[in-house]
A = this chain, B = another copy of it.
Amino acid sequence: MSRQRTGLGTNQESVRRHNLGTLLQHVHRAGHSSRAELTSIMGLNRSTIAGLVGELESLGITEQALPSQARGGAGRPSSGVGLSGSGPFVIAVDLGVDRMDVARVGLGGVIHERAAAPIVGGSEAWQVAGSVAALVRQVVEDAPMSAPLVGIGISVPGLVRRTDGLIRLAPNLEWHDVSFGSIVLAALGVDVPVSIANDADLGALAEHHRGAGIDIDDLIYVSGNVGVGAGVIAGGMRLEGAGGYAGEIGHLRYNPEGRLCHCGNRGCWETEVGAHAIARAIGIPEEQAASLGELLEGYREPTPELRLIGSHLGHGLAGLVNAFNPQVVVLGGYFRALFRLVRVDVQAALADRALPAPLESVTLALPGLGADSVLLGAAENALEPLFVDPVASLGTAITGVGTKLAG
């Protein structure tokens, strides 16, 4: 009997922490919320909600906020819950191919500070980690002393093993089997949780939570980032696959007579819509492929060559629409700028090749988060432990980061 009671006690505590995390996640996603809203959404009674809110306040995560004046309705307004300005935060790192973006991101997906630096071609992982560490020091410099750093989220343009975050392959960085998390921690000299994931997977995550895919259970984020990859949300869940490598759709066989791909095969979809193909289409050297997005922004009208690439994009997307039957396909990376130019061609090619049933319910969309989907996805990934168990997550966080890292 005593064994059973212990089990029961543990369960009650874990249920309470779960509720605490769920409430926090709601405020994180929806922003400032009234207690009445929280009571209704969580299906818990007012006193339980009051207890949870009190605990989040005492943990320094949320603070009392005045009820929004905009709201009408009779009766005493219920007091609101807002996010604390000196609450927990994460560091988000978006490793591109030729540049990195680093940001200090708070709850609510607020970017407090950001910095960027180039990545020189052929850099070793430890050199890139050194640059990351320098940017991290920069963005935490003005963080409130009492604000806890919960973790670091890193996005990589490559295949990341789910179990431990090992970067199995980042083709454009020429990395194989790199444990980049440990290397970054070594460069920083601190110990906090690090989460690493594929860039397109993180783009999908952020767009699903606070971008073009809110309340959309089936969405694909297609990332154009020199290589081409996809992040898939299916039935509201991240599609990860057995090892965490799902979504490598850049290497779908597309044209067996086509160009040689860096993967060793001929005619992968990426060879027709990847950055190098677009660079050729607009007549710039392939070495400048990584800054395609900016170059494409400068176009007012599409060239015939770009329109052809738009068709290849649409044809390939048709395969994804048939295979995954998404409601929304978000076009990220340099596809943002390309899609603005050749939307008609992409749509026509998609309609040409997709089956009618999955075609009728799909929308092609630009990212709701602009160029920051992947960066904010890295932040969401690092924040996730807070929503599972805020108490445990704060237990592994560190405060006074600005001072500690400066020293």
Given contacts A235-B237, A319-B252, contact A325 B243 (CB under 8 A): yes
CB distance B248 to A358 under 8 Å? Answer: yes
User: A268: shortest Cβ distance to chain B, in Å?
Assistant: 9
Task: Give per-residue flags for A44-78: 1 if the beta carbon is below 8 A from chain B beta carbons, else 0.
Answer: 01000000000000000000000000000000000
**CB-CB contacts below 8 Å: A190-247 with B:** 217-218, 230, 234-235, 237, 239-247
Rounded to whole angstroms, the CA-CA distance of A239 and B249 in the bound complex is 17
CB distance B253 to A316 under 8 Å? Answer: yes
Contacts of A237 in B (CB 8 A): 234-235, 237
CB distance A265 to B362 under 8 Å? Answer: no
- Among B45, B241, B254, contact of A234 (Cβ-Cβ < 8 Å): B241
Contacts of A246 in B (CB 8 A): 234, 323-325, 358
Decide yes or no whether A41 CB sits under 8 A from chain B: no
Contacts of A168 in B (CB 8 A): 356-357
Decide yes or no whether A271 CB sits under 8 A from chain B: no
Task: Give 21 A-B contacts (CB < 8 Å), ordered by A residue.
Answer: A161-B357, A168-B356, A235-B237, A235-B240, A241-B324, A241-B325, A243-B325, A243-B358, A243-B361, A245-B322, A245-B358, A246-B323, A247-B323, A248-B358, A249-B323, A251-B322, A251-B355, A253-B253, A254-B256, A265-B352, A265-B353
Rounded to whole angstroms, the CA-CA distance of A356 and B168 in the bound complex is 9
- How many chain-A residues does the 8 Å CB contact rule pick out? 50
CB distance A254 to B251 under 8 Å? Answer: no
Contacts of A241 in B (CB 8 A): 218, 234, 324-326, 358
Contacts of A13 in B (CB 8 A): none
A residues at B contact (CB < 8 Å)? 4, 45, 159, 161, 168-169, 217-218, 230, 234-235, 237, 239-249, 251-257, 263, 265, 315-316, 318-319, 322-327, 352-353, 355-358, 361-362
Contacts of A265 in B (CB 8 A): 352-353
| In the complex, residue of chain B having the shortest beta-carbon distance to the beta carbon of A43 | B7
User: A296: shortest Cβ distance to chain B, in Å?
Assistant: 24
Rounded to whole angstroms, the CA-CA distance of A243 and B324 in the bound complex is 10
Determine which residue in A169, A255, A358 has the highest number of CB atoms from chain B within 10 A of its CB, and name it.
A358
User: A14: shortest Cβ distance to chain B, in Å?
Assistant: 14
Contacts of A161 in B (CB 8 A): 357
Contacts of A353 in B (CB 8 A): 251, 253, 265
Contacts of A242 in B (CB 8 A): 217-218, 325-327, 358, 361-362
The 10 A-B residue pairs whose C-beta atoms are closest, nearest first, are A241-B325, A242-B327, A248-B322, A246-B325, A245-B325, A218-B242, A168-B357, A245-B358, A252-B319, A159-B357
| In the complex, residue of chain B having the shortest beta-carbon distance to the beta carbon of A4 | B45
User: A18: shortest Cβ distance to chain B, in Å?
Assistant: 17
Contacts of A358 in B (CB 8 A): 159, 241-243, 245-246, 248
CB distance A235 to B239 under 8 Å? Answer: yes
Given contacts A323-B323, A327-B242, contact A248 B169 (CB under 8 A): no
Contacts of A230 in B (CB 8 A): 323
Contacts of A357 in B (CB 8 A): 159, 161, 168-169, 243, 245
CB distance B352 to A252 under 8 Å? Answer: no
Contacts of A252 in B (CB 8 A): 252-253, 319, 322-323
